[in-house]
């Protein structure tokens, strides 16, 4: 049990007053961000990132990841009390959570949501604790061709498995990769796509783009909506909490099923949103009385929340072990790693043990503390919604500007942020997904470097990507995923799979 | 948009959010238990009612169709792809002895981007569904501009007067003019928020922001 010993070491790193205070600050800020309309996990993390620039990496990641856990918890509060999903992944929670609140069982629904979030995260963290070191030590043997194959796999799976129109995913991803290439070419030292502009020489910073894409554009989108709400901020009593917990064992199948779905979709780029819906739908399908779903069944809260949190947490696994983010927020944390001077990838587990195990330990502790915090302070956080949006919106804009400027001390970046805000607004409205764009922007240079280093190593032949069993299976899998819709369609036509035809009918 | 603690009014408009799915199971649910809810809700519960008086009307006419925007975006992306593609071709986009030249990757990415936007352009031109769909209604556009225009001004002012002055002006101005919040509340919020930002970034964390004449006069 080597992982166990290292985990204990992680707790030792974590248990200092400074880190614990930062953790509480992160959680509170995160719940705040999760409850407020127009701010979500990725935006919150992106905007607050500059605060951490002068911290040591361990404190910084603990605070940032706690913002993320807090946002995950916070999303459930507004879904249940006001029927307003604070986050896209808590949409499925409103299906049964809001009816429960309507029946006066708000406290019960909230307890169920928080508890199942906790269970989902716990399963995912356990997975990370034991699986991440194994994957990373395996990945230590990777050379540039293997890394390029893994990046290719990530990109291809987005195109092949994404639910958006394929050409829109392709547009989003190639645009991200192109923008990542602006500036000095790291291999040859040539300037690319700068058009003689000194501002473009630095390249387009990933975090500036993210702050614009998720922060500014989200404000614009929020303003289009009716921002009225009504509901009850129920306090949670210990009696209710114990009541819900006593019934927990009855739902172990649902909890376990949702945890597995969440972990799977978190590691592959399916995401928390898909996981929450899938968790809900499967719970409904396997239920004895599926017609009761949507009318306030506690299982309808357990299932999506467990899956969403398991997915949100396990998205950090590929980021830690391979340097490939499994979600938008993980991508931003990855950007943070680079700012703090760490090189994401399997070497993290070797070179920065304190950092990695401090982070993993903080996932355990952060979720326990977060659970207690949300259970005791729900009414306070719900009342935050009374703060008028006209006061919140300009503050978010200012925070975004501070964040964008602080990264490279460049006024140009504030303008760039505004530009990305418009791009994000328009893209979201016409259905061009932003996740592939973000992923491409953060991984673009690394993927290209890996490709060109493999080319230099192999003397310029593509055969290097089929040179051994490992790399050729990853490359082949990537290509299969890329053309999966076509293959699926063909198989369906020949009559090999029934499933392929079913959705089209 | 202002929040207030208020009794339940008789108006019961369904809350619409962007992420709300169109599943038929969900619509109108919850309306079944209103009386039950108020009976069962204990006295200690805090009721939260937030109104949005300037909310965009639902029947506001469409300003522009999604299809039109899609066509414009695809044309812009196509232009971008051609510009970037040309620049990379100049840099060198061929395959030499040690593998690809610096412009190789971006050049072919420009080709892919160009192809994708061309496909999108044709798809948008052919599709009748997207042509009918509303991109933004007039009322929505007004609200979006109410945020965007001040943000643009804020960036301009930041360049001239520094971030902290701009931040004060943005928050106070936005709360007062757009949110119609009492002047003293707007000014107080703006001062407190700007001060907190200044203390946090400039003093505690040593992250330097753009500054203008005011900070210079104060010797910071």
pLDDT digits (tens, 9 = 90+) for A17-30: 888 888 888 899 88
Q: What is the pLDDT of residues A151-197, one digit of tens each?
A: 888 888 878 777 778 888 899 999 999 998 888 777 777 788 878 77
Which pLDDT score, from 0 to 100, does residue A1 have? 57
Q: What does R_g of chain A's alpha carbons equal in angstroms?
A: 22
- Residue A487 exposed, middle or buried by CB count within 10 Å (0-12, 13-18, 19+): middle
Using CA coordinates, name the residue in chain B closest to A231: B48
Distance from CA of A177 to the nearest CA of B (A): 7
Which pLDDT score, from 0 to 100, does residue A35 have? 81
Distance from CA of B212 to the nearest CA of A (A): 13
Share of chain A above pLDDT 70, in %: 95
Placement of tokens 């974590």 in the chain: A14
Is residue B160 within 8 A of residue B212, CB to CB? The reply is yes
Q: Which of A81, A217, A224, A421 to mutate to test the interface with B (most CBs of B within 10 A)?
A: A224
For residues A139 and A153, give the distance between their C-alpha atoms in angstroms, rounded to a whole number.
15
With contacts defined as CB-CB under 8 Å, which chain B residues touch A177? 105, 109
What is the pLDDT averaged over residues A261-286? 81
- Contact residues for B126 (Cβ-Cβ < 8 A; gap 6+): none
Using CA coordinates, name the residue in chain B closest to A212: B151
Which pLDDT score, from 0 to 100, does residue B47 have? 72
For residues A67 and A46, give the distance between their C-alpha atoms in angstroms, rounded to a whole number.
10
Contact B175 A411 (CB under 8 A): no
Q: Output the CA torsion sign for A62, A213, A50, A71.
A: negative
Mean pLDDT computed over every residue of chain A: 83
User: Of A115, A117, A66, whose CA–CA distance to A89 is shortest?
Assistant: A117
Using CA coordinates, name the residue in chain B closest to A181: B106
DSSP state of B47: E
- Contact residues for A171 (Cβ-Cβ < 8 A; gap 6+): A432, B77, B113, B116, B117, B120
Q: Output the CA torsion sign for A108, A40, A11, A376.
A: negative
Q: Which pTM does this prediction carry?
A: 0.82
Which pLDDT score, from 0 to 100, does residue A269 have? 65
CA A267 to chain centre: 10
Read off the pLDDT band of A425 (50, 70, 90): very high
Dihedral angle at the C-alpha atoms of B142, B148, B150, B153, nearest 10 degrees? -130
CA B211 to chain centre: 26
Distance from CA of B169 to the nearest CA of A (A): 10
Is residue A47 within 8 A of residue A215, CB to CB? The reply is yes
Which pLDDT score, from 0 to 100, does residue B187 have? 94
Is the backbone of residue A38 left (phi > 0), alpha (psi -120 to 50) or beta? Answer: left
Is residue A381 within 8 A of residue A36, CB to CB? The reply is no
Measured between CB atoms, which of A178, A191, A402 is closest to B109? A178
Is some CB atom of chain B closer than 8 A to the CB atom of A51? yes
Q: Transcribe A451-480 into DSSP letters.
A: HHHHHHHHTS-GGGGGSSHHHHHHHHHHHH
What is the pLDDT averaged over residues A497-505? 44
User: Of A403, A365, A467, whose CA–CA distance to A13 is shortest?
Assistant: A365
For residues A114 and B191, give the distance between their C-alpha atoms in angstroms, rounded to a whole number.
36
With contacts defined as CB-CB under 8 Å, which chain B residues touch A385? 3, 48, 50
Share of chain A above pLDDT 90, in %: 6
Sheet with B3-4, strands from edge to edge, namely A229-233, B46-50, B3-4
- Contact residues for A294 (Cβ-Cβ < 8 A; gap 6+): A95, A96, A99, A300, B25, B26, B29
For residues A384 and A397, give the distance between their C-alpha atoms in angstroms, rounded to a whole number.
18
Give me the interface pTM, i.e. the ipTM.
0.80
Is residue B49 within 8 A of residue B1, CB to CB? The reply is no
Length of chain B, please?
220
Distance from CA of B128 to the nearest CA of A (A): 15
Tell me if residue B62 falls in helix, strand or coil. Answer: strand
Report the DSSP beta bridge partners of residue B64: B136
User: Of A392, A223, A226, whose CA–CA distance to B55 is shortest?
Assistant: A226
**Among A99-108, A120-129, A382-391, B195-204, the range of highest mean pLDDT:** A120-129
Is residue A68 within 8 A of residue A52, CB to CB? The reply is no
Is residue A79 within 8 A of residue B12, CB to CB? The reply is no
Read off the pLDDT band of A415 (50, 70, 90): very high
Using CA coordinates, name the residue in chain A closest to B162: A411
With contacts defined as CB-CB under 8 Å, which chain B residues touch A81? 48
With contacts defined as CB-CB under 8 Å, which chain B residues touch A88? 19
Is residue A168 within 8 A of residue A431, CB to CB? The reply is yes
Parallel, antiparallel, or unpaired: how do β-strands B99-100 and B95-96 relate? antiparallel
> Which phi and psi (to 5°) does residue B73 adopt?
-60, -45
The whole-number mean pLDDT for each consecutive block of 10 residues of chain B, a chain of 220 residues, reads: 35 36 36 40 58 75 85 93 89 75 86 92 81 82 90 93 93 90 92 90 80 80
Distance from CA of A45 to the nearest CA of B (A): 17
Report the DSSP beta bridge partners of residue B47: A232
- Of A38-42, A59-63, A248-252, B145-149, minimum mean pLDDT range: A38-42
Contact B135 A234 (CB under 8 A): no
Alpha helices in A191-324 (DSSP H): 198-201, 206-210, 217-223, 238-247, 252-267, 271-286, 299-314, 316-322
């Amino acid at each position: 049990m080597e992982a166990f010993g290292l985990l204990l070491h992680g707790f030792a790193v974590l248990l200092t007053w400074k880190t614990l205070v930062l953790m509480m600050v992160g959680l509170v800020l995160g719940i705040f961000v999760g409850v407020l309309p127009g701010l979500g996990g990725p935006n919150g993390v992106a905007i607050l990132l500059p605060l951490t620039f002068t911290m040591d990496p361990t404190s910084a990641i603990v605070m940032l990841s706690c913002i993320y856990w807090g946002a995950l918890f916070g999303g459930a509060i507004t879904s249940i009390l006001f029927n307003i999903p604070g986050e896209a992944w808590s949409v499925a929670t409103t299906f049964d959570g809001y009816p429960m609140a309507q029946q006066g069982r708000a406290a019960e629904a909230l307890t169920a949501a928080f508890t199942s979030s906790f269970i989902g995260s716990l399963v995912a963290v356990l997975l990370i604790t034991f699986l991440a070191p194994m994957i990373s030590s395996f990945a230590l043997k990777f050379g540039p061709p293997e890394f390029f194959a893994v990046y290719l796999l990530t990109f291809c799976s987005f195109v092949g498995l994404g639910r958006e129109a394929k050409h829109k995913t392709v547009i989003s991803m190639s645009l991200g990769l192109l923008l990542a290439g602006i500036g000095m070419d790291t291999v040859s030292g040539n300037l690319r796509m700068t058009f003689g502009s000194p501002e473009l020489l630095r390249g387009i910073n990933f975090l500036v783009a993210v702050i614009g894409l998720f922060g500014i554009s989200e404000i614009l989108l929020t303003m289009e909506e009716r921002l009225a709400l009504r509901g009850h901020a129920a306090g949670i009593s210990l009696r209710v909490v114990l009541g819900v917990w006593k019934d927990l064992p009855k739902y172990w199948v649902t909890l376990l099923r949702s945890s597995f779905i969440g972990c799977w979709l978190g590691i592959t780029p399916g995401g928390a949103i898909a996981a929450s819906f899938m968790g809900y739908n499967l719970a409904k399908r396997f239920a004895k009385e599926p017609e009761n779903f949507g009318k306030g069944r506690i299982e309808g809260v357990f299932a999506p929340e467990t899956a969403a949190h398991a997915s949100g947490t396990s998205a950090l696994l590929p980021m830690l072990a391979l340097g490939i983010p499994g979600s938008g927020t993980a991508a931003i944390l990855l950007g943070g790693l680079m700012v703090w001077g760490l090189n994401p990838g399997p070497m993290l587990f070797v070179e920065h043990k304190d950092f990695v195990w401090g982070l993993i330990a903080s996932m355990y502790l952060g979720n326990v503390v977060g659970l207690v915090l949300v259970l005791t302070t729900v009414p306070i956080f719900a009342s935050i919604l009374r703060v008028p949006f006209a006061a919140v919106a300009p503050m978010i804009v200012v925070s975004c500007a501070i964040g964008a400027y602080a990264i490279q001390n460049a006024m140009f970046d504030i303008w760039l942020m505004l530009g990305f805000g418009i791009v994000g607004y328009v893209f979201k409205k016409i259905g061009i997904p932003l996740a592939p764009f973000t992923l491409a922007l953060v991984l673009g240079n690394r993927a290209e470097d890996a490709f060109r280093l493999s080319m230099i190593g192999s003397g310029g032949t593509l055969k290097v990507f089929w040179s051994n069993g490992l790399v050729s299976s990853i490359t082949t899998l990537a290509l299969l995923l890329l053309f999966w819709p076509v293959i699926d369609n063909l198989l369906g036509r020949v009559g090999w799979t029934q499933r392929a035809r079913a959705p089209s009918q | 948009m202002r929040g207030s603690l208020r009794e339940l009014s008789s108006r019961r408009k369904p809350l619409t959010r962007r992420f709300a799915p169109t599943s038929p199971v969900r619509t109108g649910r919850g309306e079944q238990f209103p009386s039950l809810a108020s009976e069962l809700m204990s006295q200690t519960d805090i009721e939260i009612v937030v109104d949005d008086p300037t909310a965009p009307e639902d029947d506001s006419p469409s300003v522009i169709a999604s299809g039109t925007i899609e066509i414009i975006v695809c044309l812009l992306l196509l232009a971008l792809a051609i510009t970037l593609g040309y620049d990379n071709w100049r840099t060198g986009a061929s395959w030499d002895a040690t593998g690809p030249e610096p412009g190789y990757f971006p050049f072919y990415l420009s080709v892919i981007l160009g192809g994708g936007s061309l496909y999108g352009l044709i798809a948008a031109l052919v599709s009748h569904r997207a042509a009918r769909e509303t991109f933004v209604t007039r009322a929505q556009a007004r609200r979006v501009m109410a945020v965007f225009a001040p943000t643009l001004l804020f960036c301009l002012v930041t360049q001239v007067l520094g971030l902290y002055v701009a931040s004060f002006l943005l928050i106070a101005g936005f709360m007062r003019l757009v949110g119609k919040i009492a002047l003293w509340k707007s000014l107080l919020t703006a001062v407190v928020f700007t001060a907190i930002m200044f203390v946090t970034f400039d003093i505690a964390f040593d992250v330097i922001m753009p500054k203008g004449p005011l900070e210079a006069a104060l010797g910071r």
